[in-house]
Amino acid sequence: MRASRYLIATQKETPADAEVISHQLMLRAGMIRKLAAGLYTWLPLGLRVLRKVERIVREEMDKSGAQEVLMPSIQPAELWQESGRWEQYGGELLRLNDRHGREFCYGPTHEEVITDLVRNELKSYKELPANFYQIQTKFRDERRPRFGVMRAREFLMKDAYSFHLNQESLDETYQVMHGTYCAIFDRLGLDYRPVQADSGSIGGSSSHEFHVLASSGEDDIVFSTGSDYAANIEKAEAIAPPGERPAAAQPLTEVATPDQRTIDDVAAFLKVDATQTVKTLVVKAEAADDEEQGLVALILRGDHTLNEIKAENLPGIAEPLTMASDEDIEKAIGCKPGSIGPVSLSIPVIVDRSAAHLADFVCGANKEGYHLTGVNWERDVPLDRVEDLRNVVEGDPSPCGNGTLEIRRGIEVGHIFKLGNKYSTALNATVLDENGKTAIMEMGCYGIGVSRIVASSIEQNHDDRGIIWPDAIAPFEVSIVTLNAHKSPEVMEAAELLYNQLRQAGYDVLLDDRNERPGVKFADMELIGIPHRFVVSDRGLKAGTLEYKGRRDADKQDIPVADALSFLVKASPRGGL
């Protein structure tokens, strides 16, 4: 491609409303432009990257045996009503009416449509397993779209759905998809981790997320220092501290703690560490039939935080998790939220594993302005129900048994789920099994955020001069920058020769033949992030050389003109993909 005939829409200024580096650089490098909140146009340079990501995803999905289909983006409400999600799905579902007033949505995902297709097309277990995927524009009406294409409303996604006669077959395909995802993210040159994840509202029993590690990530990812264990913090198991619970040593004592509201206040006032205190959170209980919705107390060590996902998944707790109001608490317990504790509490209590390991601890006295010290489980308060309620923290022992936990930020770029039969049951998607009996199919689903990958790659690959693309998804692998070409026919001729030579070898080449100052051209090529750069100049040609610089290199080097291609093949062996 000749830059003189191509939209190089670089910008010097960092756009004010772009918070993360990938968003800033995609705007500055002329990869995307905003049309409206969460809606972006992909400019030619950005689209080249997107298409390369898409191609790698498609190639690996094909290799896995999945079959590509293309479902409509607009879906009839009837199918969503059949699955029950028309009511459940919140404001992210873009609902609309056609000219005849019929209800549709712009698909944020396609479980209903593919299940409807498969229940009509597949009749026998002999046709299973089957895995269908598409690479398609999705819409999720985010309340607060942000970070450019990282959390846009309209985005490109690869979604796959597999169908099985039984759980074993689902497990197999799930493993194949796990491997396929690793192959995809490897080829994309990303530093990523597959992590255990909560299955969330999409339903199902087991799931992994694939996270690109980056400080701008919106998720906390937990790793073991001693094994491959990795999980989203939503899911990471917090295990009890090692050893037996210490024996009780102090007497139960009520102490006045006037005006001490927070755990830190109370700990400082009583001169104990926050780790020696517990806090009590009150949430709504699962509603029983015909009864008023009760409350449940959750007990955590003072320095720990509640993991809402874990709490919500427990039997007996209302879903979604709902904190009790101050009024509810005063009515049920007779004191304000800041003074609650488990001793003689009138509502059911669930104790976190770490809180359950404490002896001689401090807690609220269920009496305004008072706390209890020297509290001990079983002696002073029964310990009926112990659960994993909290978020892990750095240094926690790993639940795998090896090493301790570290926490880093991650960007979710892929997610694989075992859906089980949630949708196949709702839509009655069956086949005949080996015995000629009707069997509900098991399902898996597997997503990749194709457009989000582009931003994630930038989060991991940039410097103060701009983007640094991995060769595999660079818009162009090589740039050829001409110096003063409009004055020197020799420079232009040599550049054209090299351009044709590299293109014939299969490289994507951007010939920067623009009539701009060298500094402008260099800065643009670096901002755009092209991994390899040759400079053709009069001075160099007189010496029979071109100048080469890799985007990550500190120094330039002179290469004999005749060696340019073989040099590049060594530097970028993936050229000519």
CA distances from 290 to 320, 327, 447 (A): 19, 22, 40
Q: Does 71 contact a copy of itself by CB under 8 A?
A: yes
Options 15, 55, 73, 272; binder of a copy of itself; rule CB under 8 A:
73
CB of 18 to a copy of itself, least distance (A): 16
* Cα–Cα distance measured from residue 415 to residue 448, given in angstroms and rounded to the nearest whole number: 7
Residues 154-213, interacting with a copy of itself (CB under 8 A): 154
The DSSP element (H or E) to which 489 belongs, if any, is: helix 489-504
Bridge partner list, 460: none
User: What x/- string results for residues 406 through 425 when contact with a copy of itself is judged by CB under 8 A?
Assistant: --------------------
Options 17, 63, 65, 262; binder of a copy of itself; rule CB under 8 A:
65
Q: Look-up: residue for tokens 């340019």?
A: 564
- Cα angle 478, 501, 558 (rounded to 5 degrees) comes to 60
Alpha helices (H) along 159-260: 167-187
CB of 142 to a copy of itself, least distance (A): 9
Q: Which is nearer to a copy of itself, 120 or 438 (CB)?
A: 120
CB of 114 to a copy of itself, least distance (A): 9
Options 55, 59, 130, 408; binder of a copy of itself; rule CB under 8 A:
130
- Per-residue DSSP letter, 469: -
User: What x/- string results for residues 492 through 531 when contact with a copy of itself is judged by CB under 8 A?
Assistant: ----------------------------------------
Q: Look-up: residue for tokens 């449940």?
A: 296
Options 17, 96, 557, 562; binder of a copy of itself; rule CB under 8 A:
96
Angle between helices 450-460 and 44-63 (to 10 degrees): 110
Q: Does 76 contact a copy of itself by CB under 8 A?
A: yes
* Cα–Cα distance measured from residue 445 to residue 92, given in angstroms and rounded to the nearest whole number: 20
Taking contact as CB under 8 A, which single stretch among the options 96-104, 331-339, 480-488, 553-561 is the one that binds a copy of itself?
Answer: 96-104
Residues 37-56, interacting with a copy of itself (CB under 8 A): 39-44, 47, 50
Give the tokens for residue 394.
Answer: 């750095």
CA distances from 161 to 70, 126, 156, 189, 539 (A): 12, 18, 17, 26, 59
Bridge partner list, 96: 104
Q: Which is nearer to a copy of itself, 43 or 441 (CB)?
A: 43
CB of 87 to a copy of itself, least distance (A): 16
Q: Which is nearer to a copy of itself, 5 or 552 (CB)?
A: 5
- Per-residue DSSP letter, 124: B
**Count of residues touching a copy of itself (by CB under 8 A):** 48
Give the tokens for residue 378.
Answer: 């079983």
Burial 260-288 (b: 16+ CB within 10 A, else e): beebeebbebbebebebbbbbbbbbbeee
CB of 454 to a copy of itself, least distance (A): 12
3-state secondary structure of 371: strand
Taking contact as CB under 8 A, which single stretch among the options 134-142, 183-191, 210-218, 262-270 is the one that binds a copy of itself?
Answer: 134-142
CB of 122 to a copy of itself, least distance (A): 8
CB of 205 to a copy of itself, least distance (A): 26
Q: Which is nearer to a copy of itself, 121 or 368 (CB)?
A: 121
CB of 129 to a copy of itself, least distance (A): 9
Q: Which is nearer to a copy of itself, 129 or 342 (CB)?
A: 129
Q: Does 124 contact a copy of itself by CB under 8 A?
A: no
Options 14, 17, 63, 68; binder of a copy of itself; rule CB under 8 A:
68
Bridge partner list, 156: 137
> How do 154-164 and 219-224 pair as beta strands?
unpaired
In the sheet that holds 94-97, the strands lie side by side as 74-76, 103-106, 94-97
CB 404 within 8 A of CB 217: no
CB 61 within 8 A of CB 53: no
Q: Look-up: residue for tokens 């077959």?
A: 169
Kindly report whether the peptide bond that precedes residue 320 is cis, defined as omega within 30 degrees of 0. Answer: yes
* Cα–Cα distance measured from residue 249 to residue 292, given in angstroms and rounded to the nearest whole number: 41
Q: Which is nearer to a copy of itself, 140 or 235 (CB)?
A: 140
Q: Which is nearer to a copy of itself, 130 or 393 (CB)?
A: 130
Taking contact as CB under 8 A, which single stretch among the options 131-139, 167-175, 177-185, 307-315 is the one that binds a copy of itself?
Answer: 131-139
Options 88, 124, 137, 201; binder of a copy of itself; rule CB under 8 A:
137
Q: Does 16 contact a copy of itself by CB under 8 A?
A: no
Amino acid at 205: S
Taking contact as CB under 8 A, which single stretch among the options 87-95, 345-353, 391-399, 411-419 is the one that binds a copy of itself?
Answer: 87-95
Taking contact as CB under 8 A, which single stretch among the options 73-81, 168-176, 341-349, 543-551 is the one that binds a copy of itself?
Answer: 73-81
Q: Look-up: residue for tokens 């979710």?
A: 412
Give the tokens for residue 1.
Answer: 């491609």
Q: Which is nearer to a copy of itself, 308 or 516 (CB)?
A: 516
Options 6, 86, 269, 567; binder of a copy of itself; rule CB under 8 A:
6
Kindly report whether the peptide bond that precedes residue 241 is cis, defined as omega within 30 degrees of 0. Answer: no
The DSSP element (H or E) to which 419 belongs, if any, is: strand 405-420
CB 412 within 8 A of CB 449: yes
Options 55, 94, 189, 245; binder of a copy of itself; rule CB under 8 A:
94
Could you tell me the end-to-end alpha-carbon distance of the chain, in angstroms, rounded to an integer?
Answer: 17
Amino acid at 396: D
Q: Does 432 contact a copy of itself by CB under 8 A?
A: no
Taking contact as CB under 8 A, which single stretch among the options 65-73, 264-272, 381-389, 499-507 is the one that binds a copy of itself?
Answer: 65-73
Taking contact as CB under 8 A, which single stretch among the options 138-146, 158-166, 405-413, 546-554 is the one that binds a copy of itself?
Answer: 138-146
Q: Which is nearer to a copy of itself, 99 or 570 (CB)?
A: 99
CB 128 within 8 A of CB 163: yes
Chain positions contacting a copy of itself, by CB under 8 A? 5-7, 9, 33, 35-36, 39-44, 47, 50, 65, 67-76, 91-92, 94, 96-99, 104, 106, 113, 116-117, 120-121, 130, 132, 137, 139, 141, 143, 153-154
